[in-house]
Structure 1
Amino acid sequence: MTALLVGADRLGNIPDTLKQYGIKEYIHWSGRKKGMRKFDIPQEAGMVIVFYDFIGHNIKDIVKEKAKQSNIPCIFTRRACTDLTKRLNQCKACHRCSKM
C-alpha cells in the first residue's frame, strides 16, 4: 500500500515503522508550502497519515476534509514511531482499510 504522509520535515525511522504495517511506498509532503491548500490526494494513496505537530490547523483541516471526500482512511499522529505504531494499530483494528 502507498500512504500519503503530511507534515514533518524529516521522517527519521518512520519509513521502517511503516514497512512493518505493509506500507512499502509513501509520498511525503512537508505541509509547509502555501500551495498545499489546493491539493488533491494522489490516486495511488490508500491512506493518509498526518503528523499534526508539524503542520498548522488550516492544513490539518483541509487534509481531513479531502480524505473524507475521497473515502480514504486518515490518521493523525505525532512524529514519533511509538505514537505512529499506536495509531496504526488502532486503524488496523477498525477494519476500514481492506488493504492493510
Structure 2
Amino acid sequence: MSVLIVGGDQVESLKRQVIAQGHTHVEHWSGRKKGFLKRSLSSNTRLIVMVCDYVSHSLANSLKNKASRKGIPLIYCRHSAHELKHKLLNKEKIDEGCCHCYSF
C-alpha cells in the first residue's frame, strides 16, 4: 500500500511512522512549486498525509478534491510524528476542517 506525504522538508520521522504502521511505499511531495497543483496521484496511492504547516491553500484544496474523487482517505497533521502515529493508530479520517491548515 502506498502513502503520499505532502508538505514539509524533513519528513524522515513521518516516513518511519507510516512504515511502522505497515505501509510498504512512501512518496513525498514538498509542495513548494506550482507544478504540484497539476500533478496527478499515483494509481496505487491508498492514503494521503498532508502536513498542514507547509502546504498552500490552493494545493490543499486541490488534493482534497482529488482525494475525494478517488475515495482516498486524507489525514491532516502538523509536522509531528507523535500526532501522525496517534491518527494512524486510531484510523482517524478528518474530512472537514483541519488542524490549522489555514493559519499562516
Give me the TM-score of the superposition, normalised by structure 1: 0.84
Aligned residues: 93
Secondary structure at the residue paired with 1:79?
Answer: coil
For 1:46 and 1:12, the matched residues in 2 are separated by 19
Q: Deviations over 1:20-59 (max 9, x none)?
A: 2111211100011111111211111111111111111111
The equivalent of 1:25 in structure 2 is 25
Deviations 1:59-86 (A, max 9, x none): 1111111000111111111111111112
Structure 2 equivalent of residue 38 of structure 1: 38
Q: In the alignment, does 2:53 pair up with 1:62?
A: no
SS at match of 1:13: helix
Could you tell me how far apart the structure 2 residues matched to 1:5 and 1:12 are? 11
Conserved 8 A contact 1:76-1:87: no
Q: Cα RMSD (Å) of the superposition?
A: 1.4
In structure 2, the gaps of 5 or more residues are 94-104
User: Which residue type is aligned with residue 51 of structure 1?
Assistant: V
Counterpart CA distance in 1 for 2:45 and 2:76 is: 16
Percent sequence identity is: 28
Give runs of ≥4 in structure 1 deviating > 3 Å: none
- Return the TM-score normalized by structure 2: 0.81
Considering fraction of residues, name the structure with more helix: 1
